[in-house]
Chains A and B, each alone.
Chain A
Amino acid sequence: MAQLLQLHKEDPADNEIAREVKRRVWWSLYLIDQWASAGLGLPRHFNGGPVPRLPMDEVAFSQLSITDSSRNVEPLENWQPGIWSHMISLVKIFGLIQDLNHELGNQMHWDENSIEPCVLSLAEQLANFEYELPSTMVYTLDNLEFHVRRGVGSTFVALHLGYHHYCTLLYYQYLDQRRPPTPNTRMFAQRCKHHATEYCELIRTSNQRSGAEALYNIVGHMTVVSSSVLLHTLLFGDDQELPLARHRLESNYEFLVKLREIWPSVDIMVSSDLILF
């Protein structure tokens, strides 16, 4: 339908609002496609082909006037990428992480010498993503306040929750202590714990700040993944890691109880994912 509608093409008859809405609908489908194929293990529909321009700054977009469309001719040099532009760059890397994890899931014997370069290359892409973020998009408490004031606090949080979740997934397999030790194994396992912890801290901070809450459905799944890493630390970690891991796990659990009131499906995520783990 999106292709029949040619959502990726600019229609000269559209005003700037309609064009941006079409771009955003197209990119939303792209993101859902990446997530749905991860969840259900089905092939993706968005492979190659022309793509629309990335979404513009969310605040500038919501300030475009409905009634006076002549004011909406945005000169391109004023164009700023929105939080969603960064979300899309990130989801592209997420797609590659899933491909790797999916492939590993299908292999009976893992060849560490071929896996490690893949993980390192994806790690580098994630590091580049973070490095190239404009200074206002980097996660700091000041930036969080800045985005809350602009009315896009929870979108900013969504970007960073996604970042830590995808990082956790990239290194997740290295928590398995039966993996043969390689020079990087320990570092990867540490990174997995680091991002699961950062995720937990961010969820806690965001839900204490009005205008930054993350209460959409996928957050339930991501929090369960973060909790499973914390639980691993609690079971197998060093003595000095235990108190903080326990504290964070409790904080995630409290949040999941709250989320379950809103989304009944969180119950199923908690029971199936944590029992599997």
Chain B
Amino acid sequence: MKLGSACLQCRSGKRKCDRALGTACEQCEKRGLQCSSLQRDGPPAALLPTPQPVSSIETSSLPPAEVSKELVDLYICYIHNKPHSLFHEPSLRQSARDGTLNHGVLLGIAGLSARFSANPQIRNQGHVFANRARIFVQTNIENICLENVQAFIIVGNVCLAGSDSDSESLYFGKSALKKVNN
């Protein structure tokens, strides 16, 4: 596989990229995206399995334990087994409890289900979780494992449902699907 010189965002959006290490590219700047040129100083990860996530999320950017529990409950109530069916319910609850749930999956679930919370503070955090999930998925786009496919599907759902229904988010949903399938 040829390692492209474009940043991850431009690659996924099929745009011409003027990527230079250490600065955000023009396309990302224009679109307000978190450009991957900023995040990496090495070449992109190789295609085949690196078992660990390329970048793990800092624990401080994950929802606190009780909030995670509430958001996983809301996800199971309103989303699980409806537009998609991705989990064994007791395993999902347990991994959320003991902190072993994939961070992309957890943030995606949080981004999708915060809107159902009765607590306005949690509801307002929804887009923050969704954005972190999106960045997680974009950075891990080449890291193939079941959990990342699950995270992809959830983030795709968040994007399709976002208020910014511009082609960018629609495209992201579709490109995620394409990536998953290729």
Using CB atoms and an 8 Å cutoff, list the residues of chain A in contact with chain B: 1-5, 7, 17, 20-22, 24-25, 27-29, 31-33, 36, 39-40, 42, 45-46, 55, 58, 61-62, 64, 66, 83-84, 152, 154-155, 158, 213-218, 262-265, 267-268
Contacts and interface: CB of A to CB of B under 8 A. Distances in A.
A40 B88 CA distance: 31
Interface stretch (B10-18, B27-35, B162-170): B162-170
Interface string B150-182: 101100110011110100001001100111111
A213 B74 CA distance: 12
Identify whether the interface residues of A are mostly helix, strand, loop, or mixed. helix
A20 B163 CA distance: 33
Contacts of B83: 31-32, 158, 216-218
Nearest to A46: B181
A1 B83 CA distance: 20
A216 B177 contact: no
B78 A216 contact: yes
Contact of A45 (B149, B153, B178): B178
Contact of B156 (A32, A42, A55): A32
Contacts of A28: 84-86, 153
Interface string B73-106: 0000111011111111111001000000000000
A21 B85 CA distance: 8
A267 B161 CA distance: 11
Given A32-B153, A84-B85, A268-B165, A263 B115 contact: yes
How big is the B interface, by class?
35 or more
B88 A262 contact: no
A84 B145 CA distance: 23
A20 B81 contact: no
Contact of B177 (A17, A25, A29, A158): A29
A249 to B, nearest CB: 24
Contacts of A267: 163
B84 A36 contact: no
A25 B153 contact: yes
Contacts of B145: 5
A8 B87 CA distance: 16
Question: Which of B87, B94, B162, B180 has the largest count of A CB atoms less than 10 A from its CB?
Answer: B180
Contacts of A1: 144, 148-149, 152, 179-182
Contact of B85 (A2, A55, A214): A55
Contact of A61 (B88, B179, B181): B88
B88 A17 contact: yes
B90 A36 contact: no
B139 to A, nearest CB: 15
A40 B176 CA distance: 14
Nearest to A268: B165
Contacts of A218: 83
Contacts of B116: 215, 262
B149 A62 contact: no
A24 B174 contact: no
B149 A40 contact: no
Contacts of A25: 86, 146, 149-150, 153
Contacts of A215: 78, 116
A225 B148 CA distance: 33
Contacts of A83: 81
Given A32-B177, A36-B174, 6 more contacts: A17-B91, A31-B83, A39-B170, A55-B85, A263-B161, A267-B163
